[in-house]
Amino acid sequence: MPFDDELVIADEVGSQLIRLVRLIERKQVQYQAEHPDAVERATYHLLVHLVNDGPRRAGSLAEAVHSDPSTISRQIGHLVRLGLVERTADPVDGRATLLAATDEGRRVFEENRRLRNERIAEMLAGWSPDDRHALAELLARFTSDFENSMLRSAEAAAAATIDAAAVRS
**How does pLDDT run across 41-97, given as a tens digit for each residue?**
888 999 999 999 999 999 999 998 888 888 999 999 999 999 999 999 888 887 889
Rounded CA gap, 27 and 44, in Å? Answer: 15
Specify the pLDDT at position 1: 57
pLDDT-derived band at 13 (thresholds 50, 70, 90) equals very high
Per residue in 103-117, pLDDT (tens digit) is 999 999 999 899 999
Specify the pLDDT at position 126: 98
Per residue in 129-151, pLDDT (tens digit) is 999 999 999 999 999 999 899 88
Alpha carbon 21 to its chain centroid, in Å, reads 13
User: Is the pLDDT reported for residue 122 higher than 90?
Assistant: yes
Per residue in 26-44, pLDDT (tens digit) is 998 888 888 777 788 888 9
Q: What percent of the chain has pLDDT over 70?
A: 98
- 3 state DSSP class of 169: coil
CA distance to 48, 131, 145, 146, per residue, from 139 (Å): 19, 12, 10, 10
- What is the pTM (predicted TM-score) of this model? 0.75
Residue range 39-123 in CATH 1.10.10.10: yes
Q: What are the extents of the domains in the chain?
A: 1-38, 39-123, 127-169
85 neighbors 79 (Cβ within 8 angstroms): yes
